[in-house]
Amino acid sequence: MYTLTDVSKTYRQGARTVEALSDVHLSIADGEFIAVQGQTGGGKSTLLQLLGALDKPSRGTVLLGDEDLGRLGSTELGDVRARRIGFVFQSFNLIPTLTAQENVETALAPLGVPATTRRERARAALESVGLGDRTGHLPSELSGGQQQRVAIARALVKEPDVLLADEPTGALDEDTRGEIIGLLEGVWRDRGLTLIVVTHDSWVAHRAERRVHLKQGRITGKAATRV
């Protein structure tokens, strides 16, 4: 699925440069479930941005399949995101003015899906995360766990190759945490997609097939080994 070779990412902050990722080598197979662990500021989100075609590496190559993401323009990157990548965020990132149903539909808007199909698919996605009876609710009318389920439905509705989740349980209580991870695991198993979850929660990390540790931008430990 992914092949990262010698990847570095530096951010410029005025005169200072911060190396968020340094010389990262990583391959991720199709259908893998990987947890990315590490302390705050370790470069987990930066790695996820590169995997998610949100940003380009400063050095090295990031291949998604055989597509070199570093060589794509911003329109093409947007297209990759629209078609192949599903995102789940720590703070859900739902559009506050749109209903659950409409939030899920936003993921299909750039794909040019006709309105009726769009509505049916969004509804089906919400049903698959157990929210078939909440389609008309605004995010503010839903609990945190329910909001994250809507976000997962939004990420899944396009039937992506990869599901990227950045601290998906970071804003949730323990019971809900288990629910959400269970849901993600179920999706991964049923759909055969590649699941990459960033977390500093070792309980969550231990559900994954493989764990990648990031410390000060570098991968530590036996990252390449499959569990």
- Chain residues in the site for other proteins (CB under 8 A): 45, 48-49, 52, 54-55, 74-75, 78-79, 81-83, 85-87, 89-91, 93, 95-98, 102, 105-107, 109-111, 118, 154-155, 158, 166-167, 171
Euclidean distance between CA atoms 214 and 219, whole angstroms = 5
Instruction: Note whether 46 binds Mg ion by CB under 5 A.
Output: no
CA 184 from centre of chain = 11
Which lies closer to Mg ion via its Cβ, residue 91 or residue 97? 91
> Residue holding tokens 């509705």?
157
- Residue 161 partner contact from ligand ADP, Mg ion, other proteins, none using kind-dependent CB cut-offs of 5 to 8 Å: none
Which lies closer to ligand ADP via its Cβ, residue 107 or residue 214? 214
- Residue 171 partner contact from ligand ADP, Mg ion, other proteins, none using kind-dependent CB cut-offs of 5 to 8 Å: other proteins
Q: What are phi and psi of 34, to 5 degrees?
A: -115, 140
Q: Round the CA-based radius of gyration of the chain to a whole number and report it.
A: 17
Q: How far is the CB of 34 from other proteins (least distance, A)?
A: 17
CB-based contacts of 18: which residues, under 8 Å, 6+ apart? 10, 11, 12
Interface with ligand ADP (CB under 6 A): 11, 13, 18, 20, 38, 40-46
Q: Identify the CA nearest to 154 among candidates 178, 187, 181.
A: 187
Q: In this structure, which amino acid lies at residue 77?
A: L
Q: How far is the CB of 49 from other proteins (least distance, A)?
A: 5
Which lies closer to other proteins via its Cβ, residue 8 or residue 209? 8
Beta bridge mates, 51? none
Q: What are phi and psi of 60, to 5 degrees?
A: 80, 180
Which lies closer to other proteins via its Cβ, residue 171 or residue 223? 171
Interface residue with Mg ion among 45, 49, 101, 128 (CB under 5 A) is 45
> Residue holding tokens 């199709």?
30
Q: How far is the CB of 121 from other proteins (least distance, A)?
A: 13
Which lies closer to other proteins via its Cβ, residue 23 or residue 79? 79
Count of beta carbons in the 10 Å neighbourhood of residue 29: 12
Which lies closer to ligand ADP via its Cβ, residue 13 or residue 225? 13
Euclidean distance between CA atoms 100 and 207, whole angstroms = 28
Instruction: Name the residues that contact Mg ion, by CB under 5 A.
Output: 45
